[in-house]
A and B are shown apart, each in its own frame.
Chain A
């Protein structure tokens, strides 16, 4: 593989580029918002659900390479959005964006991208890029879109190089809600859209938002809970003042160790107070940190909608949606923690439960959206634990 700093000349008509920190420039056609953004380049192998992926706050400061070549076929709609806050900064796709074709589409994909300020590049050999990430890890890069085709490559390169990278970065603060919010939406059904939460006699879940996907809250509602969402930096007292029957620890972007600086003490205190806990992804990682385990940055991460996970109690395999670049190091789990799920790809930790407590977490995304719905049972399990 050639690796020339700026040796790849700008092809005629190129309006988008990806400048990697090592100087490699990948050219393409820009779409969506014009401008530039810096982040880590990752890839996602899901064939559906691009709108959900791009609005997942866990992708903050990331540029998503979609391995499936045709993205945008079904346009965009207002329902398939996982969060109103910042998600991925942009995406890279193989094929030009086509006009949408789907009865739910209300907008073209590229227009939607522009509207929510995300940059896209098409015309890239996304498989070559994916293989590069597999071989040498997720690079830092700047994605840029200039409709008139003018790029200041040295400046873009400098920006990519000077970006510190995700390791040690606390991004949860950036994407978390600033204020407490009573959650209202229920789960989605074809033909009638999202339902709404019922009554206030239900078990009360306080959800700490480190950059959560809305579908998690919808699933908690569907499982029979009343949900109040609080910001990432909510203190133990603030949480307890809401009289929770259980506390949910959400997914989110960045390094769990960095966010854990302020989040883990709160989680530890909640654990000590025997408050039932359920963590997903970043929330799972920080629950593990709270028990004394360690997290590590993965080489290429797991991102897709086809990842098999084994439940160690029953041997059942769940096909899961995943999106993580950090993982709990299974070898560091203390005796007080039981490993409940492992990845069938690489044996990495995918779930824990704390012995003697009503507290558990999973690394993957049981709320799906996008992805398989094999793991909805976890929401029922959690809500079922609450008195």
Chain B
């Protein structure tokens, strides 16, 4: 069937900010969809509040709305743009829920908008637990015994049929927020209550527990003619009980016979047909009883998903692109897979390798939260690795995670412990369980014993057992000195670093002595090296080179080499030579090439913003005529899409893996250089190893980057330039730290050196707090020193992003933070242009930025953070590389900042590009989005440690409206009236008075605790007193739980008041009450509430702003 001609414009709804359960995979999907629709000549209108996405680049859609994704706002966009159709299946749960609401509101009907991809009925049938269950009954598929409850009494009635343990899943929530597994009645009641609160429809599904069953996913694509194909099967290594997003998974399924696989295949297709997903990709999840193969349908998602992104990257089948084409009427047989150029889209991909995904977690950021994995997703990112065997792909994934692993590193806490402790550790579903399994083998446990505790399939366990057995042999005998034996180890996925660690152990005759000696030079070292084969990563590399043991590169072609594929999408593997030498399919070209290193798995502090920059580097350098080569291992990203770069290597970002790729790429053509400054800390940390091997690094030199990060070197530069920094010092011990802090005077800001995202940063007010910090921070950063800064309390913080070509500097944007200095810049809201700074201060920051850029000889991007206090500008830090704010700045000023930077790095001059426009007649506000609801027990307060997962942008004519939109986009609907609760620290009391007065005048009732109430009353404001929690019930938290409070302003000073008020913030969070924990943000919120009438918010496209 040809494409539809009855529609000419299509609204695509994005997924909004990056949150846990909804990350950059939806930028990847949406970007593919928009490109696919534009190719067909449709006018595409996009709404997405996330400025860090490629899809919101102004040259993607025809009209791009960076506006909050709420039904009311999207309705306004529809009213303005009058699209003929809406595609709601590319923006995750956010887009589906929004589309369902619009349908219910009658908006689609009113404006004649057709839903394409999935209609409201299908979405409802898939998402509504009860309807889904009935649908499964109709097609004879089994569901877990379960029932729906809308309150606790109903829930207890359901428990009769399911029994304990029971699984509680709230309806219509992202990544299973609010759900969990209950083992006893008390837990059951607690989780049900949380689930009812989390569900927008106050509905939970209670299910019989299938703990320990095997879990599978099928990625299905269907077209209008009812053709269905399975793109990929995925098997979870973690059995049922862990959210699939938090599970280690492999593709394809490895433990099913064809008969069982075909049952699942036919069932998946039957599910799509019954639910009525007309076209596009869907994901169906199954549980299988390992004892008898009994199959149970868990759920289906009638849209592209995290799993479909993984399946696309794993197979080379671009699900979102095809789904978009199917949505406008094509059928599968009419489409070609662009990746292979050889296979039709109607073909089921088959693969000849194993793909492993491992999630990455951030529990260390949320003190107080337990690291238990359950049915609510908690991971913040993931790594995918490809190998020719399970062992190879698993070990590549482990080192690609960048959590300090080189493979199955030892779990020191479990070394030599007794069986009971091992059993106890293995029985907990935690992020480290796979490592604990490996450790259990080292401790002598058997496959059967470990299976009985973990329910991991014995097949996977035996593979891990074999890896540990190989490790054991190396630890005893050292490394083999022949190519075949070494290649065999490498083919199991061992990294050079891991091999070195193990080999060194083989000479460890006297405990640690051998290892220490081995690392020294001299005769003893040489003797030990001879015994072990190699004693360091570099020596293993040398040994491999000597023996000619190198990986080869195979292509991901969706067809297991049955046809020739045109797109160079590759992974490495160690392959035995079959015809004289190992076959390498890389075929590097003779072109001038630039390698861009990506950012690896998403984590807090390094996510989509850096991937955005890497993508732009690819786009820009391709335009400039270079061949672009991307290396990355994050399956969610646009950077790992097949058409982002000319050549794509899906590989871990370690020195070893990158050097092997470069070795092959340099065998033909000219490597102009490698870009390490765009992907965050990950590629930067490889700069040294690349330089050591003589690899050219483009742009700002790694030495200049080091200078900026090295406290002492940087301080000298600052002095030379006569700039002002907060007083600071370095300490390598507790006593030194005490002395430095005493000299600077409290409060001070503490942090370990060389970190991203402010990990383990903290403001301390006293020596006792300092001692506590030292005790915990050293664990985080090993033996690196602690940095101590004077903390400029209540200073205004600013970010400046600038470009420099070594001669000329161009400031792209000056951003004023709304939260005061001390809150991590990634967690602060900020505005561009600054909303309250005098022009001379802005000019001074720009002047300093220019001086610094030239002094550091920056070629490319640079980010500088300043603090402004009492009219004085302090330099906080300089990062001569791409920063998290680059995409926001680019969207706010309408200039391709990252692209220009990449071209400057490749040698062009800034003067050849048009100057940036600085006189904006609008205001852009960036707001951070936090995952606190996913981490019960953590304190939702902003600190120097970054905790946000994503960001939104609000853009409008003035600050109040832009701020209002930024809040709405971040999921905070500011109330128009109601009860405001205020409790602020003394220094904030005078600051906040005008805001309180304005809100009272606007109709708010204000309540406050003791000190704050007294102060406000003294200022003549009618404020009611409410008890603090410590003052006994009924107190403020009771009122919040009762739904009596609509807005919270709560700032604290000092450790005690902070701890006292934790329950207030926690209640605000669980009761979904908008809350602000800084005075500046409270003022901004008040300003927005007073100025904005929500029903009159205007929507305007970026293209319109820029014109």
Interface status of A101 (Cβ within 8 A of chain B): yes
Contact present for A99 and B257 (CB under 8 Å): no
Contact present for B459 and A73 (CB under 8 Å): yes
Interface status of A174 (Cβ within 8 A of chain B): no
For the complex formed, measure the closest distance between the CB of A262 and the CB atoms of chain B, giving whole angstroms: 34
Contact present for B332 and A317 (CB under 8 Å): yes
Interface status of B395 (Cβ within 8 A of chain A): no
Quick one: closest B residue to A302, CB to CB? B562
For the complex formed, measure the closest distance between the CB of B218 and the CB atoms of chain A, giving whole angstroms: 12
Interface status of A79 (Cβ within 8 A of chain B): yes
A-side contacts of B256, CB under 8 Å: 48, 74, 102
* Of A2-10, A204-212, A245-253, the one touching chain B: A2-10
A1, A306, A368: which contacts B262 (Cβ < 8 A)? A368
Contact present for B583 and A127 (CB under 8 Å): yes
Query: CB within 8 Å of B: which of A171-205?
Result: 188, 190-191
- What are the 7 A-B residue pairs with the smallest beta carbon separation, nearest first? A2-B580, A49-B258, A370-B258, A101-B459, A67-B560, A306-B348, A128-B583
For the complex formed, measure the closest distance between the CB of B215 and the CB atoms of chain A, giving whole angstroms: 15
Q: How large is the interface on A (under 10, 10 to 19, 20 to 34, 35 or more residues)?
A: 35 or more
**In the bound complex, what is the Cα–Cα distance between A96 and B562 (angstroms)?**
23
A-side contacts of B577, CB under 8 Å: 8, 125
Question: Given A74-B257, A80-B257, do A127 and B262 touch, yes or no (CB 8 Å)?
Answer: no
Interface status of A58 (Cβ within 8 A of chain B): no
Contact present for A127 and B560 (CB under 8 Å): yes
* Of A130-138, A159-167, A279-287, the one touching chain B: A130-138
A-side contacts of B561, CB under 8 Å: 67, 127, 130-131, 134
Question: Given A7-B580, A80-B259, A130-B560, do A317 and B350 touch, yes or no (CB 8 Å)?
Answer: no
Interface status of B349 (Cβ within 8 A of chain A): yes
* Of A112-120, A141-149, A266-274, A307-315, the one touching chain B: A307-315
Quick one: closest A residue to B290, CB to CB? A103
B389-409 toward A: CB 8 Å interface, digit per residue (1/0)?
A: 110000000000000000000
A-side contacts of B333, CB under 8 Å: 308, 310, 315, 317, 344
B262, B332, B581: which contacts A371 (Cβ < 8 A)? B262
Interface status of B443 (Cβ within 8 A of chain A): no
For the complex formed, measure the closest distance between the CB of A319 and the CB atoms of chain B, giving whole angstroms: 5
Quick one: closest B residue to A318, CB to CB? B227
Question: Given A68-B351, A130-B561, do A99 and B227 touch, yes or no (CB 8 Å)?
Answer: no
B331-351 toward A: CB 8 Å interface, digit per residue (1/0)?
A: 111000000000110111111
**In the bound complex, what is the Cα–Cα distance between A305 and B560 (angstroms)?**
12
A-side contacts of B225, CB under 8 Å: 315-317
**In the bound complex, what is the Cα–Cα distance between A52 and B261 (angstroms)?**
13
20 contacts between A and B (CB under 8 A): A1-B583, A45-B560, A48-B257, A49-B257, A52-B258, A69-B389, A101-B459, A124-B576, A129-B578, A134-B561, A134-B562, A304-B350, A317-B346, A319-B230, A319-B347, A319-B348, A345-B344, A369-B258, A370-B262, A373-B266
Interface status of A329 (Cβ within 8 A of chain B): no
Question: Given A125-B575, A190-B295, do A69 and B388 touch, yes or no (CB 8 Å)?
Answer: yes
Quick one: closest B residue to A26, CB to CB? B578
**In the bound complex, what is the Cα–Cα distance between A245 and B254 (angstroms)?**
43
For the complex formed, measure the closest distance between the CB of B356 and the CB atoms of chain A, giving whole angstroms: 13
Contact present for B265 and A372 (CB under 8 Å): yes
Question: Given A130-B561, A315-B225, A319-B229, do A99 and B462 touch, yes or no (CB 8 Å)?
Answer: yes
For the complex formed, measure the closest distance between the CB of B224 and the CB atoms of chain A, giving whole angstroms: 10
Question: Given A68-B351, A103-B292, A316-B226, do A125 and B559 touch, yes or no (CB 8 Å)?
Answer: no
Quick one: closest A residue to B254, CB to CB? A73
A88-107 toward B: CB 8 Å interface, digit per residue (1/0)?
A: 00000011001111111000
Interface status of B432 (Cβ within 8 A of chain A): no
Interface status of A77 (Cβ within 8 A of chain B): yes
Q: Max chain B CB contacts within 10 Å: which of A7, A191, A317?
A: A317
B-side contacts of A77, CB under 8 Å: 257
B263-301 toward A: CB 8 Å interface, digit per residue (1/0)?
A: 101100000000000000000000000111111000000
**In the bound complex, what is the Cα–Cα distance between A91 and B388 (angstroms)?**
18
Interface status of B913 (Cβ within 8 A of chain A): no
Interface status of B124 (Cβ within 8 A of chain A): no
Interface status of B152 (Cβ within 8 A of chain A): no
Contact present for B259 and A190 (CB under 8 Å): yes
Interface status of B484 (Cβ within 8 A of chain A): yes
**In the bound complex, what is the Cα–Cα distance between A127 and B561 (angstroms)?**
7
B294, B350, B389, B457: which contacts A46 (Cβ < 8 A)? B350
A-side contacts of B352, CB under 8 Å: 45, 67-69, 94, 126-127, 130
A-side contacts of B265, CB under 8 Å: 372-373
Contact present for A190 and B260 (CB under 8 Å): yes
Interface status of B354 (Cβ within 8 A of chain A): yes
A55-78 toward B: CB 8 Å interface, digit per residue (1/0)?
A: 000000000000111100110010
Interface status of A356 (Cβ within 8 A of chain B): no
A284-327 toward B: CB 8 Å interface, digit per residue (1/0)?
A: 00000000000000001000111110100001110100000000
For the complex formed, measure the closest distance between the CB of A85 and the CB atoms of chain B, giving whole angstroms: 20
B-side contacts of A344, CB under 8 Å: 333, 344, 346-347
Contact surface of A with B, Cβ cutoff 8 Å: 1-4, 7-8, 11-12, 24, 26, 28, 43, 45-49, 51-52, 67-70, 73-74, 77, 79-80, 94-95, 98-104, 123-132, 134, 188, 190-191, 300, 304-308, 310, 315-317, 319, 344-345, 368-373
**In the bound complex, what is the Cα–Cα distance between A95 and B263 (angstroms)?**
27
Contact present for A80 and B258 (CB under 8 Å): yes
A-side contacts of B229, CB under 8 Å: 308, 317, 319
**In the bound complex, what is the Cα–Cα distance between A47 and B388 (angstroms)?**
13
Question: Given A68-B351, A103-B290, A308-B347, do A94 and B388 touch, yes or no (CB 8 Å)?
Answer: yes
A-side contacts of B753, CB under 8 Å: none
Interface status of B252 (Cβ within 8 A of chain A): yes
**In the bound complex, what is the Cα–Cα distance between A369 and B849 (angstroms)?**
69
Contact present for A102 and B347 (CB under 8 Å): no
**In the bound complex, what is the Cα–Cα distance between A49 and B463 (angstroms)?**
21
**In the bound complex, what is the Cα–Cα distance between A336 and B368 (angstroms)?**
79
**In the bound complex, what is the Cα–Cα distance between A22 and B371 (angstroms)?**
60
Quick one: closest B residue to A306, CB to CB? B348
Apart from A48-B253, A94-B388, A130-B562, 15 more pairs, CB < 8 Å = A11-B484, A48-B262, A51-B257, A67-B562, A70-B389, A80-B257, A125-B577, A127-B554, A130-B561, A190-B293, A190-B294, A317-B225, A317-B229, A317-B333, A372-B262
Q: Max chain B CB contacts within 10 Å: which of A67, A129, A300, A369?
A: A67
Question: Given A103-B292, A125-B575, A304-B562, do A47 and B260 touch, yes or no (CB 8 Å)?
Answer: no
Contact present for A134 and B484 (CB under 8 Å): no
**In the bound complex, what is the Cα–Cα distance between A127 and B457 (angstroms)?**
27
**In the bound complex, what is the Cα–Cα distance between A175 and B129 (angstroms)?**
53
Interface status of B1093 (Cβ within 8 A of chain A): no
Contact present for A103 and B291 (CB under 8 Å): yes
**In the bound complex, what is the Cα–Cα distance between A298 and B687 (angstroms)?**
52
B-side contacts of A48, CB under 8 Å: 253, 256-258, 261-262
B522-565 toward A: CB 8 Å interface, digit per residue (1/0)?
A: 00000000000000000000000000000000100001111110
Contact present for A128 and B578 (CB under 8 Å): yes
A-side contacts of B226, CB under 8 Å: 316
Contact present for A307 and B388 (CB under 8 Å): no
B-side contacts of A80, CB under 8 Å: 257-259
A-side contacts of B564, CB under 8 Å: 134
Contact present for B354 and A69 (CB under 8 Å): yes
Contact present for A190 and B263 (CB under 8 Å): yes
**In the bound complex, what is the Cα–Cα distance between A43 and B390 (angstroms)?**
21
A-side contacts of B261, CB under 8 Å: 48-49
Q: Max chain A CB contacts within 10 Å: which of B252, B292, B583?
A: B583
A-side contacts of B350, CB under 8 Å: 45-47, 67-68, 304-306
Contact present for A2 and B579 (CB under 8 Å): yes
Interface status of B516 (Cβ within 8 A of chain A): no
B429-460 toward A: CB 8 Å interface, digit per residue (1/0)?
A: 00000000000000000000000000001110
A-side contacts of B293, CB under 8 Å: 103-104, 190-191
For the complex formed, measure the closest distance between the CB of A138 and the CB atoms of chain B, giving whole angstroms: 13
